[in-house]
Amino acid sequence: MRLSDKDNVTIGKDMLYGGAIVVLACLIMVSVFTQGFGLVKTPPTICPVCNTTNTGNTTQPTQPAEQPLQQLTVAPGKMPVLGQASAPVTIVEFSDYQCPYCSRLCSGAEEQLKQTYVKQGKVKIYFRNFPLSFHQYSMPAAIAAECANAQGKFWEMHDKLFASQAAWSASSDAATVFKGYAVELGLNNATFTACFDGQTPAAAISADMADAQTYGVQGTPASFIIVPKAKISAKAMKDAVSALNAQYGAGALTLFENANDYTVLVPGAFPYEAFDGVLSKVTY
């Protein structure tokens, strides 16, 4: 069948443009909802610290709060001080006369400390007993030193015991050796013998050991460097301990405080440089 001229459908330009616009708008809407027809995917924003997905703004990392220092107050004990009592810095050493590492500390770091800090009136040292049970003559040696102290010769006996550690440790009769040292040091023989045989200082030695355990001492030697807060800033002290731990291993030294002092635990026969790393930062 042939259409007549009056039956022909005429599509105007305006109709064509309008239809095209409607189709195009539909395509755009579909593209938005399908993220480009699935061809392009927008990555989520990743938090750089916590590693969680965040579709908004990037979350800034927060710094952890600094942990407060543990509280600790270390008493110097009752033995005579080595150095000037007015020295601002105190070192309290827990030690065992038969411990080879204690002997190493005595002849090494401690000897250098005497020359550079003790004699200059900057540091004073106190000795406290911590005889280990598996050392056969540790307790008798501690008693010998305490009995010598009763006659005013503690540090002389202290030095003698460490200097001759190898000899009396190998002896089958250390008691006789210790009594011989008392004679060499000019002590009253009868008085020393009565003190040593009666184990008069045993209670005082046990008190030292009990204190050491409350301070966290787990072996010998264990030295506590006590610095008044008025002599060093918190930052300088923390930086010094952090630097030493970076050198000797994380947690090698532990920093404590109380209302007036900072205290550093140096566990073991550390070299002189470990002590100097703290002491050199102090204002004397």
Q: Which residue has the tokens 């200082």?
A: 201
pLDDT of the residue at 178: 98
Dump pLDDT digits (tens) for 208-232: 999 999 999 999 999 999 999 999 9
pLDDT of the residue at 39: 37
Q: Which residues contact 41 (CB under 8 A, 6 or more apart)?
A: 35
CATH class of 71-279: alpha beta
H or E element in which residue 243 lies: helix 234-248
Distance in angstroms (rounded) separating the CA atoms of residues 95 and 236:
28
Cβ of 176: how many Cβ atoms within 10 Å?
Answer: 10
pLDDT of the residue at 51: 32
Sign of CA dihedral 101, 107, 113, 118: positive
pLDDT of the residue at 67: 81
pLDDT of the residue at 63: 52
pLDDT of the residue at 64: 59
Q: Which residue has the tokens 């210790």?
A: 178
Helices (H) then strands (E): counts for the chain = 11, 8
Q: Which of 263, 271, 273 is nearest to 73 (CA)?
A: 263
Pick out the chain residues at pLDDT < 70.
Answer: 1-65
Listed by start position, the domains of the chain span 71-279
Distance in angstroms (rounded) separating the CA atoms of residues 84 and 120:
9
